[in-house]
Amino acid sequence: MVAAGRGNARAFVRLAERHFPTLPVRSARAIETGWCCYVLDVHDEWILRFPRSREDARRLEPELMLLAELEPRLEVPVPHVERVVRGRDGSVRVVAYRKLKGRPLPRRNLGGERGRGWASELAVVLRTLARFPRALGRKAGVDWSERNDRRGRWLTLEPWVRDRVRPRLPADVRRCDEAYWDAYLGDRRTLGRAPSLNHGDLGPEHLLVNDRGISGILDWESACYEDPVAILAGLPTADGFAARVARDSVAEDRQEVERRLTFHRHASAAYTVVHGLDTHDAATVQAGLRRYARTLPG
């Protein structure tokens, strides 16, 4: 049986049984880490994704179109969607694809031959994303693909930081954080970079690896166009892994890359806080606040 977790597990199981009668859904394993979707792993062979809300269903539409364009272009596998179930209003209710096998990218012990190989392979992927045609991004509806403002999603995130994150920080940290954001977003260098396609949440949990290389990149629902350095923000820093990927994928001055990467690592921590608030998960909120304070420069 599927263990209950966030969301109504029984409702998801009933929906899966109705639309996938040949799959042994009742022996599936629930994956509780997804923010956008409730996920069932069926017999280690199929992945069923259920958007948690109407907004999450809307966010899946660009991902479905984008995956179809990425699959023949990328050097590593991405989910190959085999079936999409829609409701009467046309919104996505279930997405099904064959499970990509592998384990999440380790956060440590990345200095050996395997770690160097994963970094090299990932750098090739990021260079391919940087060349992804803008017209296809617009066609898929990827956010900010037509916006000239190079600050992208950070301008959208800033009100969340102001209203929901900073009030939970100590007064001295609040003041430093506000000054840091104002300085970064007001810097001409911040506005001077052409945006490129970004996975939007490229962390170890979405990078599958095995002894042969990268075996899959998952969960593209947050894909957007922005500063090409931002895609590096969620990568492990242990053993110079993120630095190695940056060196091989971003042809810019190292100090300038580090300046922007420092901001992206800090700003992305706000998403953890906001997600914890939205899901009433106090532990996630506190973990996000600690990371947010820790990544504030100075």
Instruction: Quick: pLDDT tens for 2-12.
Output: 333 444 677 88
Q: Specify the pLDDT at position 147.
A: 53
Q: Is the pLDDT of residue 263 over 60?
A: yes
Select the more confidently predicted residue: 217 or 140.
217
In the chain, where does the domain assigned CATH 3.30.200.20 lie? Answer: 30-98
End-to-end CA distance of the chain: 50
In the chain, where does the domain assigned CATH 3.90.1200.10 lie? Answer: 103-294
Residues 6+ away with beta carbon under 8 Å from 69: 132, 136, 140
Parallel, antiparallel or unpaired: strands 46-51 and 81-86: unpaired
- CATH architecture of the domain 103-294 equals Alpha-Beta Complex (3.90)
Instruction: Quick: pLDDT tens for 171-184.
Output: 999 999 999 999 99
Residue 141 confidence class, pLDDT cut points 50, 70, 90: confident
Average pLDDT on 190-208 reads 88
Q: Is the pLDDT of residue 26 over 80?
A: no
Q: Specify the pLDDT at position 3.
A: 37
Q: Please, what is the average pLDDT of the chain?
A: 90
Select the more confidently predicted residue: 195 or 293.
293
Q: Is the pLDDT of residue 227 over 90?
A: no
The pTM assigned to this predicted structure is 0.90
Q: Specify the pLDDT at position 25.
A: 84
Instruction: Quick: pLDDT tens for 31-86.
Output: 876 778 999 999 899 999 999 899 999 989 999 999 999 999 999 999 999 999 99
The strand ranges marked E within the chain are 29-31, 37-42, 46-51, 81-86, 92-98, 103-104, 196-198, 207-210, 213-217, 224-226
Q: Is the pLDDT of residue 145 over 60?
A: no
Give the max Cα distance, the chain: 58
Going by C-alpha positions, the residue among 253, 215, 257, 256 that lies closest to residue 122 is 215
Q: Specify the pLDDT at position 226.
A: 85
Q: Specify the pLDDT at position 24.
A: 86
Q: Specify the pLDDT at position 6.
A: 44
Q: Which two tokens stand for residue 174?
A: 């609040």
Average pLDDT on 91-105 reads 97
Q: Specify the pLDDT at position 186.
A: 87
Going by C-alpha positions, the residue among 276, 274, 199 that lies closest to residue 235 is 199
Select the more confidently predicted residue: 287 or 141.
287
Q: Is the pLDDT of residue 195 over 90?
A: no
Fold exhibited by the domain 30-98: Phosphorylase Kinase; domain 1 (3.30.200)
The answer to whether the beta carbons of residues 271 and 265 sit under 8 Å apart is no
Least confident of 50-54, 145-149, 204-208: 145-149
